[in-house]
Structure 1
């Protein structure tokens, strides 16, 4: 056929429509196969729509801002150069008679059948779709962190293609087969639904050559041509009073946050400037502004609860430096919204390190925990000499028998579990004005990632830990630690914890005041085990002995755990550790 319809693509099983954000091509433009025609978006993802054929764009059927059902035509491509010769007047789209069109189609089909096969046309092999994997029962989408491979790269089966993340865990996506990466369908920072195709692998020898015209240019580079012009237009549209004047805010703001097409579209319609948008506190992943965030801001603005940031007129001094910002106070001495976010350029002796996704998540989680719970921390000084001697005497036999190294951690976990069985209120959480006491003990272990813990902190969970003996706990501890450090954890491995153990003694610390891992009510900390002189009573007399001592700490939620109850529980752990049975079998 000479005319080819471009339809609104399917962007997920539950997505029934998309919004046209911006056309990259105009009527009359020549387009190549897979060249970007336009950008479309839903409230979940934005994507580029490529041209299905090479030819001329003769008709645009949907304007920017139009909401179109999936499968509906949005443009027409004319693949016959003669027929598309004068698209500006519209005659090319209407001058074709049915008989001539049928004749041309038959001629094209005849030529196609008689034409010799192009080199490598049958060598691409099987095209295998790489789909966004399911990373837990409750996870329906994930965000692309970064691609390890580029279009045209050879990949081996199970070799890492890209890294993805949810709000719970980062994970690597392996290649399902050996071959060549011929298409990348999701950019960095795109949020993609589970099951949606994110790349294509071709298994044939000629995959690289056959895919060169369609996928050799990454999607990022396709956008680069239009970005400068778009930014200039947006900059010019900003009026003196700080409003956008109807222009759409930038895709990535000066604060480094990504703004989805839907959010930008709402901002454009409501006259929200780029500066205003960057002052909205986002509730989404990495602080992204969601649809609800910007709609709430619009309502508050209309109700007079917030005011637009004042555009400060700055005059650059002759030295080329920045002018001194105003105090941010109005004539009555008050400070309006948006005036507190003053960005200072770092001096030459300061290195600026942008927080990665995990560091932001840790920061948000820790601050939220402090704001949620009334933290109290109590300490105990524990004599663990018996436990240390038993472990040192039996660690080799334990490993030979079980194939697992015996560290101190499963011994601590075992003692804490035994104490929790006597103090069930510790295994609970607060839900509004209710206390939910859990039957199973899902034990969380704080695992430091990277050298010296610089890679962040993650808390995998051992489910139903009360059902495991020492061998089972040792296996579970080693397994979750290995999975955490090799990025093999699923989101389900990180949820449901009822208490957490953090071992700050592993880096030589004596004691600490750990922050509760919400929504739990307690976290236990173990300090370094060191030999110290201790006064002991032996046979009715006081003696000084060299003992293996350790500080044990517990932070707990004082909303439901009183000091006496928390102190008694910690003291029970101390008793269990100090009365360790040195005659127990391996």
Structure 2
């Protein structure tokens, strides 16, 4: 009998597994070809798996919250009207779902209990999904502690929510019982911050979604890794604004694309990185890795309020038309959650557009493992001094502020300042007679 197996697809270098976050259909539902049926998430991006052909969903082989490996069969589709026997469904299930999974915690944290093998079920019969096992490993939760958790899922399944609540309770107890030790130099020890004075009547407790948790984690890590320094420069983009206003309708008719300022910023940054390649680097211990390719990350706000950074690969090999098409495509698909994992990794430098929200400037946080990030502020009309052969005069100009945050371990003020000035020069000296 014909059946179609739905697999976890390959999602880019270094990505070997994904968490099943949501089933968009139910078993028995009819689906059309290319209709999304399962939502998955990696540590990089959320994405959806579509049906390869029309049919009926016969069975899901994993549960929401489970972690599946690339290549695993996660669902089966059959033609409408067909049915699969139990033996056909069982034979398609990945063997590893039932087999025992063993892992060890780092020796410096390990105890006799945490070195014990963690099976797929606790002693009291609660099922432990791969995701829960992973969280237990990362948070040093022992097998004995897992046995204490009463699973709230189907068939006593321990859910992600169950183990996170257990970990939070464990931490709270540790804070209460931990003695406060005075630090050196007799400085007063800070008391643990407590939210106990808040109650349900005057606050709203909002659980961070998965992406917001990742963003929070990455931002904290970046500040801990890189000593941030930020430089600023005013840029007169009057000529650039006039050129874009003149050409945008023609560009739309000819290329079928809206011409925003973002592709022009990407082009200017790419040229400046060629001039100052030591900004296009990353740090590995005491080694500097200089990239001979230029991939520009483009910070993009999502409707959810979160942020994602799709990447324009090989930006130095594209002209302005090619950059524009990729910028628009990536931005459009980012907003509807259609990016692939390999489209948000591999950047060597990132641009974030604060001006899109009216901000004049800001101090962006570096997107690791890069060593610099450029923020572009809003373009505003301002009075400015204009130098002419007849002398200085005052005029109304389109001015924007560029701010460059850079890793002071490898980018000194001189290099950061010269790079920032070069980006400004490419924008200020834009060729107003340029044709597309």
Structure 2 length normalisation: TM-score? 0.78
Aligned partners of 1:532 and 1:548 also within 8 Å: yes
Verify the 8 A CA contact 2:39 2:46 in the aligned structure 1. yes
Identify if the C-alpha distance between structure 1 residues 250 and 506 changes in structure 2 by more than 3 Å, giving closer, same or farther.
farther
| Per-residue Cα deviation, 1:294-341 (whole angstroms, up to 9, x for no partner) | 9xxxxxxxxxxxxx98979xxxxxxxxxxxxx954549889xxxx969
Correspondence for 2:308: 458
Q: Which SS does the other structure have where 2:418 is aligned? A: helix
**1:487 Cα deviation (Å)?**
2.1
Residue 514 of structure 1: aligned partner = 364
Q: Does 1:570 align with 2:423?
A: no
- In structure 2, what is the equivalent of residue 13 of structure 1? none
**1:213-262 deviation digits (Å, cap 9, x = unpaired):** x99xxxxxxxxxxxxxxxxxxxxxxxxxxxxxx9769779xxxx963299
- The 1:186–1:554 alpha-carbon spacing in structure 2 relative to 1, beyond 3 Å, is same
CA distance in structure 2 between the aligned counterparts of 1:508 and 1:584, rounded to whole angstroms: 28
**Structure 2 CA distance for aligned equivalents of residues 504 and 270 of structure 1:** 50
Count residues in correspondence: 378
In 2, Cα distance between equivalents of 1:133 and 1:533: 55
Contact 1:184 1:198 in 2 (8 A): yes
Secondary structure of 2:240's partner?
Answer: helix
Structure-2 change in CA distance of 1:269 and 1:422 (3 Å): closer
The answer to whether 1:584 aligns with 2:431 is: no
Task: Measure, in 2, the Cα distance between the counterparts of 1:288 and 1:361.
Answer: 20
CA distance in 2, matches of 1:204, 1:331: 66
1:538 Cα shift? 2.1
Preserved contact between residue 22 and residue 40 of structure 2 (Cα < 8 Å): yes
Partner of 1:143: 19
d(CA) in 2 for partners of 1:356 and 1:369? 20
Post-superposition Cα deviations, 1:89-116, rounded to whole Å, max 9, x if no partner, equal xxxxxxxxxxxxxxxxxxxxxxxxxxxx
Name which of 363, 372, 377 aligns with 2:225: 372
Q: Distance in 2 between matches of 1:251 and 1:343?
A: 33
Distance 1:251 1:357, change over 3 A: farther
1:180-579 map, 5 Å: 180-205=56-81, 207=83, 259-260=132-133, 263=136, 328-330=177-179, 344=196, 346-450=199-303, 454-579=304-429
Whole-Å separation in 2 of the counterparts to 1:310 and 1:580? 58
Equivalent pair of 1:391/1:406 in contact (CA under 8 Å): yes
Q: Distance in 1 between matches of 2:134 and 2:287?
A: 41
- Largest Rg, 1 or 2: 1
SS at match of 1:548: strand
Shift of 1:528: 0.7
Over 3 Å counting, the alpha-carbon distance change for 1:401 and 1:394 in structure 2 is same
Whether the 8 Å CA contact 2:18–2:70 is kept in 1: the answer is yes
Q: Report the CA distance shift for 1:138/1:329 in structure 2 as closer, same or farther (over 3 A).
A: closer
**Of the two structures, which has the highest relative contact order with CA contacts closer than 8 Å and spacing of 6 or more?**
2
Alignment partners' CA distance in 2, 1:145 and 1:383? 47
Q: Which residue matches 1:173?
A: 49
1:164 is matched with which residue? 40
Q: 1:178 to 1:341 in 2, by over 3 A?
A: farther
Question: Aligned-pair distance for 1:446?
Answer: 0.5
Give the SS at the match of 1:259. helix
Distance 2:162 2:17 in 1: 15
Answer yes or no: is the 8 Å Cα contact 2:30–2:80 preserved in 1. no
- Following the alignment from structure 1 to structure 2, what is the Cα–Cα distance between the partners of residues 515 and 250? 42
Aligned to 2:10: 134
**Aligned-pair distance for 1:584?**
1.4
Deviation at 1:541, TM superposition (A): 2.1
RMSD value, Cα: 3.4
Q: Is residue 251–residue 260 contact of structure 1 (8 Å, CA) maintained in 2?
A: no
Q: What CA deviation, in whole Å up to 9, does each residue of 1:153-174 have, x standing for no partner?
A: 1211111111001111110011
Once the 2 structures are TM-superposed, how far is the Cα of residue 526 of structure 1 from its aligned partner? Answer: 0.6
Deviation at 1:488, TM superposition (A): 2.3
Distance 1:150 1:178 in 2: 15
Residue by residue over 1:70-125, the C-alpha shift from the partner in whole angstroms, topping out at 9 and shown as x without a partner, is: xxxxxxxxxxxxxxxxxxxxxxxxxxxxxxxxxxxxxxxxxxxxxxxxxxxxxxx6
User: Does the 8 Å CA contact 1:145/1:164 hold for their aligned counterparts?
Assistant: yes
Q: Distance in 1 between matches of 2:25 and 2:298?
A: 33
Tell whether the 8 Å contact from 1:328 to 1:340 is kept in structure 2 after alignment: no
Match of 2:111 in 1: none
- SS for the counterpart of 2:11 is coil
